[in-house]
């Protein structure tokens, strides 16, 4: 149950904070004032108009569907598709997917595979051909 978007746990938390801030004597006075204000708000014609409008907006999609006859069409389409589709279509699709998956999935690179050796003596080729290799960095030319 929510009142103005505030649930029971949130309401309890607000009461505890009010008790701490106001104290027991002032809390009774504040509660009475808040209650009178809430009664004025809930019994006002503006509040009734807001509630009526929100209820109409909630019911609007269902009313439009009934007026347009969409519910019957949806039911007919659902019945037609169920009568056309074979009952074991799911197992057939699973089998086809399993048969096709080796051709549609990319190969997975294993971390167990050794890196490709370059013809320069076992060093990994650098990603940038202009960048120096590890041996060139250790022993610069000249």
Q: What is the pLDDT of residues 77-132, one digit of tens each?
A: 888 877 776 666 667 777 777 777 777 777 776 655 555 554 555 555 545 555 55
Could you give the C-alpha distances from 119 to 97, 128, 131, 138, 140, in angstroms and in order?
A: 42, 16, 17, 20, 20
Are 3 and 33 within one domain? yes
Structure tokens at 69: 């006859």
Domain that holds residue 29: 1-43
Does some domain include residue 16?
yes
Are 17 and 52 within one domain? no
First to last CA, the chain: 84
Could you give the C-alpha distances from 99 to 13, 30, 52, 102, in angstroms and in order?
A: 59, 73, 58, 7
Does some domain include residue 60?
yes
Look at residues 29, 62, 83 and tell me which one is the last residue of a structural domain: 83
Q: What is the pLDDT of residues 28-87, one digit of tens each?
A: 888 889 899 989 988 999 989 999 999 999 998 888 877 777 777 778 888 887 777 666
Are 54 and 65 within one domain? yes
| Rounded Cα–Cα distance for residues 94 and 98 (Å) | 6
Task: Look at the chain and count its residues.
Answer: 142
Query: Total structural domains in the chain?
Result: 2
């Amino acid at each position: 149950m929510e009142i103005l978007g505030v649930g029971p746990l949130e309401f309890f938390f607000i009461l505890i904070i009010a008790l701490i801030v106001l104290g027991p004597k002032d809390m009774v006075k504040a509660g009475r004032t808040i209650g009178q204000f809430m009664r004025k708000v809930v019994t006002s014609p503006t509040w009734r108009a807001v509630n009526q409008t929100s209820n109409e907006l909630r019911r609007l999609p269902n009313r439009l569907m009934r007026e347009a006859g969409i519910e019957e069409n949806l039911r007919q389409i659902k019945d037609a598709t169920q009568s056309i589709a074979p009952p074991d279509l799911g197992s057939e699709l699973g089998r086809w997917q399993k048969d096709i998956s080796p051709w549609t999935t990319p190969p997975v690179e294993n971390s167990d595979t050794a890196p490709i050796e370059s013809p320069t003596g076992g060093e990994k080729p650098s990603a940038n051909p202009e960048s120096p290799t590890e041996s060139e960095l250790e022993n610069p030319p000249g």
